[in-house]
Amino acid sequence: MDVIKKRDNLKYILIYGALIGLYQIVMKEYYGDTLAYFARAIQDMNMSSLLAELYIRYMSWTSRILIELPLFILAHGMHMVLFGIANWLVHIMLLLSLMRLTDYKHNRVLTCLMLMYPVALMAGSGWMTAYITYFWPLSFGITAMVSLKKMFDGAKVGIIEGVFYLLCLIFAVDLEVCAVFYTCILATFCFLMFWDKKFSSKYVVYTALQLVMCTCGIVFALTCPGNEARKISNITFWFPNYTSFTVIDKAVLGVNSAFINLYTHDVFWFVLCFVVCALTLAKNKDNIILMIEGVVPFTFIIFWNILKNFVYGYYPEIVDLFEAFDKNKYVDSTNYNSPAVYIPFVIYMFLIVMLLLSILNLFNDERKGFLACAIIVSGIISRLTLGFSPTVFTSGKRTFIFADFAIIFVLLLMAEAFVPEIKKDNEKVLVLCRSLMVIATGFVVLANFVAVCSVYLY
């Protein structure tokens, strides 16, 4: 609490809290699953009817029972004020957790990056539904990661505190994507703890408990009869050819659909590739191989987004091949076996290897370099799992939320490692970067406000 009360920390908490509060004040529920189903599913809200509805959902549609518990309660009667308060608290919890994970360093960068998240992505299925289904597990999961940070730093995790983190994790892993994401983070944590020989008997037990919870979350999702029923329904409605795909086909489909969205629609991926490119050029002027590694991913973004229309005029097949995995133009069993569909997969694998190698080479501390790469891979894997779902094309950009916040954390690691060097070598460049970041954040905040006010029109 004393750390939070420090003027520099409190300032950014108040700024972030005020803007999120403003979003919540103007946020209205006009359409989506919240109104169409959750607000009307239970006529007479009481404990028995709520439990009965959750059981029906488990048997016929979803394993996300803990997540849908507050969703049904808040949606019944459309308690937007209560939802706004709860959602605001979840936002603040996420900010405080990320501050703790980064030792309260570079709070300006953290606040700006969090404010740059496109709020309108949470509107597709209704504000309540999307926020509670995706954003809340993210926030609770990252809060649970504070326990990993404390163990790695050798700090004490009290009994009450430890129970709180476990409860947060139980809620978070009810979303299967979050369970996969946290499992990857947990594996990275264990590797680093063994690397530094920091494990004690208490740490082993507590880490094992978290691993068991993640495993239970994944197994619960895989064995849920409702998930299988929803899968069959979604195949019929969204992707009839899905059943003809092999496991390899689905994996490639997940990679292609994820990366085309990252390279064309994700602002955080753009920022990451730009920062890696700029730092690589600044630090490796005499090493042409390292320079190429850092430049190639960002060059692909520029080429694809700016010159795509030019290329389409001469070679439309190339553009159509890549965009097929973005808009599902013609992916089906009749053409997916063509060798051409593996061209994007090979290119994306090449690009991600270049990016990860560049990040490893940037960090002087090999542990931090490994951590940065592992976090990025964990975020991407959380989205790749949708390749094994028939809703791979229809789930929307909100499914990238774990990848986006993984990138935010990596950008903070880079800020911690390289801001002192930039400040020492050329403070004017640092001032320029900070100014551009604040201006960009202001623009996005305005765009988010407009989106929250008018998203129901689209």
pLDDT in tens, 47-60: 999 999 999 999 99
CA distances from 432 to 8, 284, 436 (A): 21, 22, 6
Cα 184 to chain centroid distance, Å, stands at 13
pLDDT for 455 equals 63
Residue 420: count other Cβ atoms within 10 Å of its Cβ. 11
Specify the pTM.
0.92
Contact of 391 with 328, CB cutoff 8 Å: no
CA angle 253, 254, 255 (to 5 degrees): 90
Confidence label for 304 from pLDDT (cuts 50, 70 and 90): confident
Q: How far apart are CA 411 and CA 280, in angstroms?
A: 14
Q: List own/partner pairs for 53-59 with CB under 8 A and 24 or more apart.
A: 57/226, 58/224, 58/225, 58/226, 59/225, 59/226, 59/229
- Percent of the chain exceeding pLDDT 70 equals 94
- What residue spans of 224-287 are helical by DSSP H? 225-238, 247-265, 267-283
The DSSP line for 21-50 is HHHHHH----SSHIIIIITTS-SS-SHHHH
Q: Does 422 have pLDDT greater than 80?
A: no
Ranges of each domain in the chain: 1-223, 241-425
Structure tokens at 427: 């403070």
Cα 53 to chain centroid distance, Å, stands at 29
Q: Does 405 have pLDDT greater than 60?
A: yes
Confidence label for 326 from pLDDT (cuts 50, 70 and 90): low
Span of 4-8, 53-57, 144-148 with lowest mean pLDDT:
4-8
Q: Does 346 have pLDDT greater than 70?
A: yes
CA distances from 29 to 77, 123, 430, 451, 452 (A): 12, 9, 41, 13, 10
Contact of 19 with 27, CB cutoff 8 Å: no
Taking residues 86-94, report their average pLDDT.
97
Residue 21: count other Cβ atoms within 10 Å of its Cβ. 15
Taking residues 179-187, report their average pLDDT.
95
pLDDT for 49 equals 92
Q: Which residue has the higher pLDDT, 456 or 434?
A: 434
Residues whose CB is less than 8 angstroms from the CB of residue 433 and which lie 6 or more positions away in sequence, other chains included: 422
Q: In terms of residues, how long is the chain?
A: 458
Q: Does 194 have pLDDT greater than 80?
A: yes
Residues whose CB is less than 8 angstroms from the CB of residue 169 and which lie 6 or more positions away in sequence, other chains included: 140, 141, 144, 182, 210, 213, 214
Among residues 67, 75, 79, the alpha carbon closest in space to that of 33 is found at: 75
pLDDT for 149 equals 93
pLDDT for 458 equals 41
